[in-house]
Amino acid sequence: MANNITNPFFVSDNIGSVSCVVQNPAVSYTAVAGDNVIICGADSIAITLTSTSNSPIYITSVDGTTQRSGCTIIVGSQDWDISSGGCSAYCIRYGPASQNLWAVIGPKTAS
């Protein structure tokens, strides 16, 4: 269920809803408009956020009880590591979608 609205805090982001869309890719993946949660299903994969990705979106490097390594979030030329220590991030787009600007809350590092 896509939440691409002006104020994503007005809704509870659908993460706890029965219609929550969860992806668990084993290869690098680009978030789409309907994704609510993305789980890194393998080591060393990148999750890319674009101007058409859902906002907000929750991304985690914990697959069940397995902590994945090398999981990153990519927006343009910016990378965030969520694989060791900071195991998840809450990503919220700000500004017009066309600008593809994201606040990534909770990652371990950024580069």
Residue boundaries of the structural domains of the chain: 8-110
| Spatial distance between the Cα atoms of 31 and 74, rounded to a whole number of angstroms | 10
Phi-psi region of 106 (alpha: psi -120 to 50; beta: other; left: phi over 0): left
- Looking at residue 68, the DSSP 8-state letter turns out to be P
Question: Which residues, listed in sequence order, are joined to residue 83 by a DSSP beta bridge?
Answer: none
Contacts of 75 (CB under 8 A, 6+ apart): 48, 49, 50, 100, 101, 102, 104
Confidence label for 29 from pLDDT (cuts 50, 70 and 90): very high
Instruction: Check residue 65 and give its pLDDT.
Output: 82
pLDDT for residue 49 is more than 90: yes
What average pLDDT does range 78-85 have in this prediction? Answer: 83
Confidence of residue 106 (pLDDT cuts 50, 70, 90): confident
Confidence of residue 14 (pLDDT cuts 50, 70, 90): low
The reported pLDDT for the residue numbered 16 is 63
Q: Is the Cβ–Cβ distance between 59 and 36 less than 8 Å?
A: no
Q: What is the model's pTM?
A: 0.84
CA distance 17 to 4: 16
> What per-residue confidence (pLDDT) applies to 3?
54
- Other CB atoms within a 10 A radius of the CB of residue 73 amount to 25
